[in-house]
Structure 1
Amino acid sequence: MIKVFVTSWALFLGMFMLMVGNGLQGTLLGVRGGLENFSTFEMSIVMSAYFLGFLGGSRLAPEMIRRVGHVRVFAALGSTISAVLIMYPVLVEIWAWTLGRVIIGFCFSGVYVTAESWLNNAATNENRGQSLSLYMLAQMSGIVVAQGILSMGDVEGFILFIIPSVLVSLAFAPILLSVQPTPAFEATKPMRLTNLVATSPLASVGMFLLGGVFAAQFGMTAVYGTAVGLSVGQISLLVSVIYIAALAAQYPIGWLSDRMDRRLLIVIIAAVGAGGAALAWVGGATFTTLLIGAALVGGTSNPLYALYIAYANDFLDHEEMPAASAGFIFINGVGAIMGPVLIGWIMGVFGEAAFWAVVAVLMAAMAAYGVLRMLQRPSDTAVEDQVSYAPVMASASPVAMEVAQEIYIETELEDQAEAGAPIP
């Protein structure tokens, strides 16, 4: 892993700085929106806009790269992000913030596609899994550090908007000065959604519901915290706990995933997440209880993303896996777009605490549907025949998803070779 870091440190550093900027602007807008007297529903539209742009970017960025190249796309999107970030405190209007979030979501999606294609190009079959793990660590760490910066700044001024703008601008320097442009690539066309749902209804439905949960964490946690009167420091800690728990739980859940029935594990993990959200809903008046509930939600929802992919891969041929990944990104993206709007509307009707109630219902629905699928179809995949789990974040671009799929395929082929089975 040290060798991987030495060869790609500039990319990891640049991505870390980018995620500090992205994590800071997301939480900052949630807090600042309350100070500007925007309603919860208005802020839900703003937060949902990011995922609309992100989904669009994941579909269009590969075509942009084919047309003008990695470096130009990377530089253009980065400069746009930097400009939009410092426009937020200048145009304090819902329409401006919504448009800005669409643009930033689009640009970050394109940045991820470009950076991850460089990472994949630099990785080998032997270290691709380590590269993906370090990349995920850089992303998660950036989001957590961003919350620390927020807690030390003045949310009513301009400085906290300028900091992410500067960080995003600086992030491109180590990357562009150290990597070589990679050849244009052909983006994988998604599998038809009807075929994807027919192949794995559990993974398809789960991905849609999980999109709403992930969007709630990334987009609406700060809005909720502001609405219930938490301090900036408490909001920062609340968001940090979600991502720290997600990182800490990723590998234990992955270990379990390779050693037990994945449908049963999905049911258990989703039920624990629902219990955590219910705990935060009922005991949210106590900040410690709120942190415990948030940690349970973050530590279950994020690993579920990779778990659903691994489960679906158990029923897919090798050549179908990349196409299925593209389809899952779309399904998850639609859920992420709808999630904040639904939560914002329900919070406006039933009160701020309904934030956790919605998350609990979504997680409980995942668990319930998992039980239903277990009753409808007995498990026909032995544990030893399951493909290996590969860690991947819910914010992954099509490139990172394909990298994860390559790891699945390579590991499965190695296992077949060790077992003496014929390799297709």
Structure 2
Amino acid sequence: MIKVFSASWALFLGIFMLMIGNGLQGTLLGLRGEQEGFTTFELSVVMSAYFLGFLFSSKATPLLIQRVGHVRVFAALGSTISAVLILYPVLVEPWAWVLGRVMIGFCFCGVYVTAESWLNDASDNENRGKALSIYMIVQMAGIVAAQYIISRGDVSGYILFIVPSVLVSLAFAPILLSVRPVPAFSQTKPLSLPRLIEASPLACVGMFLLGGIFAAQFGMSAVYGLKAGLTVNQISVFVSTIYIAALVAQYPIGWISDRIDRRILVLITTTVGGIGAMLAFLIPGNFTIILIGAALVGGTSNPLYALLIAYANDYLEKDDMAAASGGLLFINGVGAIAGPLIVGWVMDTFGAEGFWLFSSILLLAIAAYAAYRMTRRTRSNLEFETVPYSPVAATTTPLIAEIAQEVYIDTEEVDSDAK
């Protein structure tokens, strides 16, 4: 892994700075919006807008790259991100922030797709899995670092908006000066929805509900923190706990998933996460309980993302895996758009703790559906060969998911040759 990192350190450094910028703007807008008197519904619309732009960009960016090339797309989208970040404290209006979030979501997805295409080009069959793991670690580290920066700044001022703008701009340098241009790619078209549902109803339903949970974590956690009476420092620790737990739990859950019926693991993880969220809902105001809830929800829901992709792959031919990942990520994106809107309504109805109630209901709903699916489809581990699990972060794009599919396929082929 050290060899992979040393070969692409500049690319990972650029991605790290991009993730700090993205992690900053997500939490910062929730905090600043509360100070400016935005309603919970207005903030939920603002947060939802990011995922709308992200989802649309996942389809549009490959076309842009084919037309003008990686470098121009990367520079244009990155410059737009920097401009929008600076405009947030200037145009303090819900409608302006909604438009800004749509643009930010579109541009960040495009920037990720471009950077990930370079990452894929710099990897080969032997080290692609390690590169994917480092990429996920860098993503999580960037989001956690962003929370620390917020805890040291003034939310009511301009500096915290300037910092992510500068970081995004600086991220261009190590990436553009260290990587070679790669040919434009054509993104795999997703499988049709009926085909996906036929292959794995659990993966489709789970991905949709999981999208809402991720959106709540990424967009509404800061809003929850303020409404629950937490300080800015406590909110930073709370959000960081979600992503640190996600990183720590990813590999143990992945190791277990390759050895047991994945539906059992889906049932266990979602039940644990749902109970953790319900605990925080029933015992409000206790910061220790809040952190326990954050660790349990973050540590179960984020690995579940890769777990559901791997489970769907178990029932697909290798040629369909990349196409399925695009379809599952689209389903997840639709759920993410709806997530902030629904959790905002729940928080208005039940108070700040509605944040936990929302997460608990969705996680337990996935658990219930996993239990139901186990009664509808039998599976013998002695006769059934699973596809190897590969860690994929919840902030992924369709391109990185397709890279993960290559890891699945390469691993399977190596195992077949060994036999």
Change beyond 3 A, Cα 1:133–1:41: same
| AA matched with 1:3 | K
Change beyond 3 A, Cα 1:89–1:310: same
1:231 equivalent to 2:224? Answer: no
Deviation, 1:383, is: 7.8
Q: Distance in 2 between matches of 1:387 and 1:396?
A: 20
Change beyond 3 A, Cα 1:145–1:383: farther
Change beyond 3 A, Cα 1:377–1:74: same
Deviation, 1:414, is: 1.1
| Aligned residue in 2 for 1:255 | 255
Paired residues of 1:305 and 1:393 also in contact (CA < 8 A): yes
Q: Distance in 2 between matches of 1:383 and 1:396?
A: 32
Deviation, 1:380, is: 4.6
SS of the residue aligned with 2:8?
Answer: helix
Q: Distance in 2 between matches of 1:237 and 1:36?
A: 23
| AA matched with 2:21 | G
CA deviation profile, 1:24-66 (whole Å, cap 9, x unmatched): 1100001111100101111000000000000011111000000
1:89 equivalent to 2:101? Answer: no
| AA matched with 2:321 | M
Q: Distance in 2 between matches of 1:383 and 1:227?
A: 52
| Aligned residue in 1 for 2:357 | 357
Superposition map of 1:163-202 within 5 A:
163-202=163-202
Q: What 5-or-longer segments of structure 1 have no aligned partner?
A: 420-424
Deviation, 1:382, is: 4.1
Paired residues of 1:18 and 1:171 also in contact (CA < 8 A): yes
| Aligned residue in 2 for 1:9 | 9
Q: Distance in 2 between matches of 1:93 and 1:206?
A: 35
CA deviation profile, 1:238-281 (whole Å, cap 9, x unmatched): 00000000000000000000111100000000101101111111
| Aligned residue in 2 for 1:305 | 305
Question: Which range is displaced more, 363-372 or 389-398?
Answer: 389-398
| Aligned residue in 2 for 1:217 | 217
Q: What 5-or-longer segments of structure 2 have no aligned partner?
A: none
Superposition map of 1:15-30 within 5 A:
15-30=15-30
CA deviation profile, 1:372-410 (whole Å, cap 9, x unmatched): 000111125548611100000122111100110000001
Q: Distance in 2 between matches of 1:187 and 1:311?
A: 22
Paired residues of 2:260 and 2:381 also in contact (CA < 8 A): no
1:131 equivalent to 2:131? Answer: yes
CA deviation profile, 1:122-161 (whole Å, cap 9, x unmatched): 1010000000001111110000000000000000100000
| Aligned residue in 2 for 1:388 | 388
| AA matched with 1:126 | E
Paired residues of 1:259 and 1:383 also in contact (CA < 8 A): no
User: TM-score scaled by structure 1?
Assistant: 0.98
| Aligned residue in 2 for 1:271 | 271
| AA matched with 2:79 | S
Paired residues of 2:228 and 2:285 also in contact (CA < 8 A): no
Q: Distance in 1 between matches of 2:395 and 2:382?
A: 30
Q: Distance in 1 between matches of 2:383 and 2:344?
A: 41
Superposition map of 1:345-424 within 5 A:
345-380=345-380, 382=382, 385-419=385-419
Q: Distance in 2 between matches of 1:383 and 1:86?
A: 57
Question: Which range is displaced more, 410-419 or 145-154?
Answer: 410-419
Q: Distance in 2 between matches of 1:125 and 1:36?
A: 51
Q: Distance in 2 between matches of 1:182 and 1:247?
A: 30
Q: Which runs of 4+ in 1 moved over 6 A?
A: none
Paired residues of 1:16 and 1:142 also in contact (CA < 8 A): yes
Q: Distance in 2 between matches of 1:84 and 1:381?
A: 51
Deviation, 1:418, is: 1.4
| Aligned residue in 2 for 1:343 | 343
| AA matched with 1:330 | F
| AA matched with 2:363 | M
CA deviation profile, 1:166-194 (whole Å, cap 9, x unmatched): 00000111100110110011110110011
Superposition map of 1:127-166 within 5 A:
127-166=127-166
Change beyond 3 A, Cα 1:384–1:251: farther
| Aligned residue in 2 for 1:70 | 70
Deviation, 1:350, is: 2.1
Give the CA RMSD over aligned residues. Answer: 0.9
Paired residues of 1:258 and 1:383 also in contact (CA < 8 A): no
Paired residues of 1:314 and 1:381 also in contact (CA < 8 A): no
| AA matched with 2:337 | I
Aligned length: 419
SS of the residue aligned with 2:181?
Answer: coil
| AA matched with 2:93 | E
Question: Which range is displaced more, 298-307 or 389-398?
Answer: 389-398
Paired residues of 2:45 and 2:341 also in contact (CA < 8 A): yes
Deviation, 1:345, is: 1.1
Paired residues of 2:28 and 2:150 also in contact (CA < 8 A): yes
1:116 equivalent to 2:105? Answer: no
SS of the residue aligned with 1:321?
Answer: helix
| AA matched with 1:11 | L
